Amino acid sequence: MATAPALYPSLANKTVVITGGAEGIGAATVELFALQGSKVIFLDIADDAAQTTIARVVSRTEEAAARGGPAITPPIFYHCDVSNLPTLQETASRILSEHGPVHVLINNAAATGSAARMDTAGVTAESWETNINTNLRHVFFLTQAVLPGMKEAGSGAIVNLGSISWRIPAAGQPVYAACKAAIMGLTRVQSKEVGGAGIRINSVMPGAIATERQRREVLTEEYREEVMRGQSLKRDLVPMDVARVVVFLASEEAGAITGSSVVVDGGWVSDP
Q: How many domains does the chain have?
A: 1
What CATH number does residue 138 fall under?
A: 3.40.50.720
In a domain, 197, yes or no: yes
Burial 188-225 (b: 16+ CB within 10 A, else e): bebbeebeeeebbbbbbbbbbbbbebbeeebbeeeeee
The pLDDT mean for the chain works out to: 92
Q: Which domain holds residue 55?
A: 9-262
- How much of the chain exceeds pLDDT 90, in percent? 78
pLDDT value at position 1?
A: 43
In angstroms, the CA 171 to CA 210 distance is: 19
In a domain, 182, yes or no: yes
In angstroms, the CA 158 to CA 18 distance is: 10
Per-residue confidence at 117, pLDDT binned at 50, 70, 90?
confident
pLDDT at 215 over 90: no
In a domain, 78, yes or no: yes
In a domain, 269, yes or no: no
Strand ranges across the sheet with 104-107:
76-79, 39-44, 15-19, 104-107, 156-161, 199-206, 261-264
Per-residue confidence at 114, pLDDT binned at 50, 70, 90?
low
Which of the given ranges, 115-124, 151-160, 263-272, has the highest pLDDT on average? Answer: 151-160
DSSP 5-44: PP--GGGTT-EEEEES-SSHHHHHHHHHHHHTT-EEEEEE
In a domain, 73, yes or no: yes
In a domain, 270, yes or no: no
The pTM of this model reads 0.94
pLDDT at 69 over 60: yes
pLDDT value at position 112?
A: 66
Tell me which of 118 and 157 has the higher pLDDT.
157
Catalytic positions: 176
- Pairing between strand 156-161 and 199-206? parallel
pLDDT at 256 over 70: yes
Per-residue confidence at 115, pLDDT binned at 50, 70, 90?
low
What number of other Cβ atoms are within 10 A of residue 227's Cβ? 21
pLDDT at 156 over 50: yes
Per-residue confidence at 216, pLDDT binned at 50, 70, 90?
confident
CB 158 within 8 A of CB 169: no
pLDDT value at position 97?
A: 98
Give the CA distances from residue 111 to residues 10, 16, 214, 230, 269, in Å, rounded to whole numbers and listed in that order.
31, 22, 11, 23, 22
In angstroms, the CA 11 to CA 37 distance is: 7
Nearest in space to 94 (alpha carbons), one of 33, 145, 18: 145
pLDDT at 98 over 60: yes
pLDDT value at position 210?
A: 81
